[in-house]
Chain A
Amino acid sequence: MRNIRWIAIIPFLALIIGPFFVNRVDPLILGLPFLLAWIVVWILITSLIMAVIYAADPANRGNES
């Protein structure tokens, strides 16, 4: 389970490399230009990813030291 923390790399790929493939206006997603929508969606996914990492991290279980 410790290896699951490597999924933290995904937001970096999505937000640093990703824009090269999605730098366009259309289609508008929920009214947003496609590039902006891409960033917003990835922020939501990032929060989810961090929640998964948090849940899997043994440091967050039991009593706090």
Chain B
Amino acid sequence: MNGALPFIAAAALLALALGFLARRGKDMSLEQWTVGGRGFGAIFVFLLLAGEIYTTFTFLGGSGYAYGKGAPAYYILSYGTLAYVLSYFMLPPIWRYAKEHRLYSQSDFFVRKYDSPTLGVIVAIVDIVALIPYLVLQFKGLGIIVEVAGYGAISSTVAIWTGAIVVAAYVMVSGVHGSAWTAVAKDLLILIVVIFLGMYLPHHYYGGLASMFSAIEQAKPGFTVLPPHGESLWWFSSTVLLTALGFYMWPHSFGSIYTARSARVIRKNAIVLPLYQLILLFVFFVGFAAILQVPGLSGPNIDLALFKLSVKTFDPWFVGVIGATGVLTALVPGSMILMTAATLIANNLYRALDPSADDRRVSLMARLLVPVVALVAVFFTLKGGETIVALLLMGYSLVTQLFPSLVLSLAQRNIATREGAVAGIVAGVATVAVVSLTGANFHKLPWLPPEIQDLNIGIVALILNFIVLIVVSAVTRQAAEPARVAAE
């Protein structure tokens, strides 16, 4: 028993308690369970949308990226900000349409807009393939955090199993209400802990930010600006653009829009979320502070920078508090992903096969699927090797492929047809798959100018997707036109 463990255990118990309490006073219909009865005010919606910013990926990965790669980490700050600007204009129409038609999932949106159950199944499959690795990432992060912050007293395997059971239990009981309640605890803790770490560590080790960055510049010249090649300016800009477009295409983020009580709630959040995101700056400071204090981490181990530095600096009890925060950053997004994946399978795959199933059956099905999805994710977390890493890198690019047909469908006159949307998404997803699995990139084409070589290859899939969508839509519309005239 060491000083850190009680705090880590308390975090898991707190999540479990809040997760169960969240159910009180609600009859858990599918509408309550998955979209909170469409009654969430600004704060809950804010916390659900902000949940995307502080996952284990940003907590460990954000500091690790700053530690290992320096300036390229800044992209995380930029793309979120631009996604929030887009959200002001893009999300209210989505919310309104979802409310009018009582939609539960992102896939439902496509089914309705394009009047195509087939498209709904395709979108659901793309979503699930992207979500599972994302859940695996949260579990992996959880294992690392508990093992390091608990000074090795709890193995990561035990931590992963415990975390999976806790999160599956409260998601089954409370659905999105559980995510919202636990998000309150998570965001409070992370605010305090991250701001403290980001202010304290640079002062403690360097006497201030300016002297810290000067010391880094001296030791590693050019580390805090973008390099001329590789993750260069061209990489940075193309990645920021691509990820900003893809941000709200994640089905669990898309689904949290549905929980809003009004469109105004969503617009208000577009003002506050960019500011809230600045807390990531403090995560970067921790990573930068670690560069000269715990040197030598490389490869995947750069993600340990935050905890290695914390263990070196603080008493065990405070490492426990940081660990507890880390546990919540894994559980909250994990719960949203779990609920979204279960809803997609029940509502968009199962119901597509058996259209006679009513909401009650689908709701029951979704809840029973929660532990199944959790088990699959635990399996991949413990057994998965390289494949899961490849899948994970694909996730963001995959969901981004939904952007063109989604945005076009918001226009008053949608120029995309059902066939065009299907063809575009399939073309984009296939490109992403081929590129990810073969490890292709522009650097393999040495005749290209170096600027183009550095571009994020995801751009290619998106452009291809768009071209196929436009061409197929034009062709199918032309073919449909005479038929429609005849019918009139």
Q: A11-B85, A12-B82, A12-B85 are in contact. Are A39 and B74 (CB under 8 A)?
A: yes
Selected contact of A50 from candidates B71, B88, B212, B278, CB within 8 Å? B88
On whether the beta carbons of A53 and B88 are closer than 8 Å, the reply is yes
Interface flag for B226 (CB, 8 Å): yes
Q: Does B274 contact A50, Cβ atoms closer than 8 Å?
A: yes
Q: From B86, which residue of chain A is reached at the shortest CB distance?
A: A8
CB distance from B207 to the nearest CB of A (A): 11
**A1 interface residue, CB < 8 Å from B?**
no
| Beta-carbon contact of A32 and B241 below 8 Å | no
Other-chain residue from A19, A24, A46, A53 in contact with B81 (beta carbon distance below 8 A): A46
Which residue of chain B lies nearest to A15 when distances are taken between CB atoms in the complex?
B78
Min CB distance A60 to B, Å, is 6
Tell me, rounded to whole Å, the shortest Cβ–Cβ distance linking B311 to chain A: 26
Q: What is the bound-complex CA distance between A36 and B78, given in angstroms?
A: 10
Are A31 and B213 interface neighbours, CB within 8 A? yes
| Given A32-B213, A43-B77, A47-B275, residue A8 in contact with residue B88 (CB < 8 A) | yes
- Kindly list chain A residues whose C-beta atoms are within 8 Å of the C-beta of B88: 8, 50, 53-54
The interface residues of chain B lying within 8 Å CB-to-CB of A28 are: 210, 213-214
Q: Give B86-122 interface residues, CB cut-off 8 Å to A.
A: 88-89, 92
**CB-based contact B267/A24 at 8 Å:** no
Output the least CB separation between B112 and chain A (Å). 21
Q: Do B224 and A46 have beta carbons less than 8 Å apart?
A: no
Q: What residues of A have a CB within 8 angstroms of the CB of B437 in the complex? A: none
Interface residues of A in 17-33 (CB under 8 A from B): 17, 19-20, 23-25, 28, 30-33
* Least CB separation from B216: chain A residue: A33
The answer to whether B275 and A44 have CB atoms under 8 Å apart is yes
Query: Closest CB of chain A to B75's CB: distance in Å?
Result: 9
Complex-state Cα separation, A34 to B225, whole angstroms: 8
Complex interface: chain A residues within 8 A of B267 (CB): 54, 57, 59-60
Using a Cβ–Cβ cut-off of 8 Å, how many residues does chain A contribute to the interface with B? 36
Q: Is B264 an interface residue (CB 8 A)?
A: yes
Complex interface residues of chain B between 349 and 377 (CB less than 8 A to chain A): none
- Would A47 and B271 be within 8 Å (CB), given that A12-B85, A23-B225, A36-B71 are in contact? yes
Q: Are A20 and B268 in contact (CB under 8 A)?
A: no
Contacts A39-B74, A64-B262; is A33 near B275 (CB within 8 Å)?
no
CB distance from B201 to the nearest CB of A (A): 13
Q: Interface 1/0s, chain B 277-295, versus A by CB < 8 A?
A: 1100100100000000000
A4 touches B (CB below 8 Å):
no
Q: CB distance A19 to B237 under 8 Å? A: yes
B135 to chain A, nearest CB (A): 29
User: How far apart are the CA atoms of A31 and B217 in the complex, in Å?
Assistant: 12
Residue of A nearest to B262 (CB): A64
Minimum C-beta distance from B88 to chain A (A): 6
Chain A residue with minimal CB distance to B284? Answer: A36
Q: Given known contacts A36-B71, A59-B263, is B241 in contact with A16 (CB within 8 Å)? A: yes
Which residues of B lie under 8 Å from residue A50 when comparing CB positions? Answer: 84-85, 88, 270-271, 274
Please tell me if the beta carbons of B78 and A39 are within 8 angstroms of each other in the complex. yes
- Is B240 interfacial (CB 8 A cutoff)? yes
B237 interface neighbour in A16, A42, A49, A59, Cβ under 8 Å: A16
Q: Knowing A28-B210, A60-B267 touch, does A17 contact B237 (C-beta < 8 A)?
A: yes
Which of B81, B217, B241, B263 neighbours the largest number of chain A CB atoms within 10 Å of its CB? Answer: B81
Residues of chain B lying within 8 A (CB to CB) of residue A39? 74, 77-78
Q: Is B209 an interface residue (CB 8 A)?
A: yes
Contact of A47 among B213, B264, B274 (CB under 8 A): B274
- Bound form: Cα–Cα A59–B88 in Å: 12
A54 lies within 8 A of B78 (CB): no
Answer yes or no: B125 CB below 8 A from chain A CBs.
no
Q: Mark A2-18, 1 if CB is under 8 A from B, else 0.
A: 00010010011001110
Interface contact B209-A35, CB-CB below 8 Å: no
Closest to A20 in B: B233
Q: Does B272 contact A (CB under 8 A)?
A: yes
Q: Tell whether, in the assembled complex, residue B81 and residue A43 are in contact, meaning their CB atoms are under 8 Å apart.
A: yes
For the complex, give the distance between the alpha carbons of A12 and B85 in Å.
Answer: 9
Q: Are A43 and B275 in contact (CB under 8 A)?
A: yes
Interface string of B194-217 (1 = CB under 8 A from A): 000000000000001110111001
Chain B residues in contact with chain A, CB under 8 A? 71, 74, 77-78, 81-82, 84-85, 88-89, 92, 208-210, 212-214, 217, 222, 224-226, 233, 236-237, 240-241, 262-264, 267-268, 270-272, 274-275, 277-278, 281, 284
A interface residue numbers (CB < 8 A to B):
5, 8, 11-12, 15-17, 19-20, 23-25, 28, 30-36, 39-40, 42-44, 46-47, 49-51, 53-54, 57, 59-60, 64
24 A-B residue pairs with CB within 8 Å: A11-B82, A15-B78, A19-B233, A20-B233, A23-B233, A24-B225, A25-B222, A25-B224, A31-B209, A31-B212, A33-B71, A33-B217, A36-B284, A39-B77, A43-B275, A43-B278, A49-B85, A50-B270, A50-B274, A51-B271, A57-B267, A59-B264, A59-B267, A64-B264
Counting from the closest, the 9 A-B pairs by CB-CB distance are A31-B209, A31-B210, A33-B224, A50-B271, A15-B78, A47-B274, A64-B262, A16-B237, A51-B271
